[in-house]
Amino acid sequence: MIKEHAPVLVILVPLLSAVLVPLVGMLRNRFCWHVAFAATHVSFLLSGLLLFRVQTNGKISYRLGGWEPPWGIEYVIDELNSFVLVTIAFIGFLATLYARKSVVAEIEPVRIPAFYSIFLLFLAGLLGIVITGDIFNLYVFLEISSLAGYALIAASRKREALLASYNYLILGTIAATFILIGIGYLYMVTGSLNMADLRERLPALYHSKVVLTAFAFFSVGISLKLALFPLHVWLPNAYTYAPSVVSAVMAATATKVGAYVLFRIMFTVFRVEFDLEVVSITSILLVLSSAAIILGSVLAIAQTNIKRMLAYSSVGQIGYIVLGASIVNETAMTGSLVHILNHALMKGTLFFIAGCVLYRTGIEDIAGLRGMGRRMPFSMAAFTVAGLSMAGVPLTVGFVSKWYLALGALRADLWYLVPVILVSSLLTAVYFGRIIESIYFGRAEDGHSSGSLSRERMHEAPTGMLVPALLLAVLCLVFGISASTTVGYAEAAARLLLGGR
């Protein structure tokens, strides 16, 4: 029973739990976390089961209500979305574990039940986006996750969070409108909303002005949701002022789901031939992703706030994910897809540690990390591992992604992309290197904000916050040293998208 209905249960569990949380909160606030933790745990286990079934038996099709596609809504799990599904569910599970202490410190007690309810809605939306095979259903789940995301950012006690949430709301609404218009145009000329069915119907209509207009709306709308440069303006403030657990889970999952949607539209709804020969979208994405890779790193160097630096770093990392898709060969696409997981591990670690430091010391500025390696050794070790991974140091996950992207660029005779990757890696090494040097070899200034706390209180964050960060940091090394499993999943997904290119 559970095995048969796992595709819908993976969404229903957090969705129904989101309704249950406020009711439980009427009894006691602390019970809300237990419900959220159980829901995310079950979703993670179900997503792992789906990944195993896909690897064992191939693609899974689940028809809601027994209606035949394309008339009914179909959930489809294949080599691509099973990989992304596990990534999202795993990060959501760890974020819930992390939230138990973090949320109490950063969110007003009266808002805690609502926070966990909205958090579960956010996660359910992301999982729904990834698993659905219906393009309008994708839009519905996209709106669920987006509306929940706006509320999660605004839940912070910082006044700036309200403006950050409002800006994200405005741009997110524009993006959603563009995507909905694109869906409407496709339905107008095909009469179908099923992605697989659209793939079969659209080739005869590739030169239709309605289809071209729909694709243009999709491209702009998804790029806004993805925060692809220069449409990234909502991202820095959103990540900086959101509660720590929200920054971590959004940085590790939301933009990755945006990349997934971009790949689905480009290579599943439309085909590679359309992307290369009809609209040449890959040439545009090549320029934008290269600019994102370089300028994201440059902007990160200029920041003094830890979370803002990590936010601009994410702009560059999104560029890496899109770069592989714009090269359009199996090797580069493998690099893009494996970077969805690798960046989730790296950025999840970094934002978790930023939250640990904030929880224990109140420090948000990079300068305040001087000498922190002696006071929070485990936290700073995890930060160092993730920082080295971001720079692409060998034996870390960041190196694996960049290696496949560079190799794919060379195989496509796009040799000039290799210096882009190298320069960005050097810039990343600059801004993480200065922090790591300060952590282990610097001395805290007496007058700094850390001086407001006694030396006796300067120790590690609670275990529930530290363990998720340490686990992600360990995985940054494990999947960097032994990358065959993750690369194997990514290669299978790349073959599915590109049809053997």
Q: What is the dihedral of CA 138, 144, 147, 151, to 10 degrees?
A: -140
Nearest one of 493, 496, 474 to 83, comparing CA atoms? 493
Residue 470 lies in a domain: yes
Peptide bond preceding 468 in cis form (omega within 30 of 0): no
> Which pLDDT score, from 0 to 100, does residue 470 have?
93
Half-sphere exposure of 261 (CA within 13 A, CB side): 33
Angle between helices 377-391 and 330-361 (to 10 degrees): 150
Q: What size, in residues, is the chain?
A: 501
In a domain, 146, yes or no: no
For residue 61, is it within any domain?
A: no
User: Which pLDDT score is estimated for 445?
Assistant: 56
- Residue ranges of E strands in 447-486: none
Q: Is 393 within a domain?
A: yes
pLDDT on residue 489: 87
What would the pLDDT profile of 389-447 be if each residue is shown by its tens digit? 998 888 899 899 999 999 999 988 888 888 999 998 899 888 888 888 888 887 765 44
Residue 414 in any domain: the answer is: yes
Question: Rounded to whole angstroms, how far apart are CA atoms 396 and 35?
Answer: 35
Residues 6+ apart with CB under 8 A from 455: 375
Q: What is the pLDDT of residue 415?
A: 86
List the domain range (segments joined by +) for residue 389.
280-445+456-501
Return the pLDDT at 444: 62
pLDDT for position 3 = 72
* Bridge partners (DSSP) listed for residue 194: 134
Which parts of the chain register pLDDT below 70?
Answer: 1, 444-458, 500-501
* Alpha carbon distance 232, 293 (integer Å): 12
| Cα distance from N-terminal residue to C-terminal residue, the chain | 39
Q: What pLDDT is stored for residue 451 in this prediction? A: 42
**Domain assignment present for 494:** yes
Q: How far apart are CA 32 and CA 28, in angstroms?
A: 8
pTM score over 0.85: yes
Report yes or no: 306 and 234 within 8 Å, Cβ to Cβ: no
pLDDT value for 368? 81
Report the pLDDT value the prediction gives residue 78, as an integer from 0 to 100: 87
User: Is 289 inside a domain boundary?
Assistant: yes
The percent of residues in the chain predicted with pLDDT above 70, rounded, is 96
> Helices (DSSP H) in 58-159: which residue ranges?
79-106, 112-131, 135-154
Q: How many CB atoms lie within 10 A of CB 55?
A: 14
Please indicate, yes or no, if residue 325 is contained in any of the structural domains: yes
Q: How far apart are CA 300 and CA 316, in angstroms?
A: 9
Query: Up-side HSE of residue 203: CA atoms within 13 Å toward CB?
Result: 9
- Domain total for the chain? 1
Angstrom distance (rounded) from CA 168 to CA 160: 12
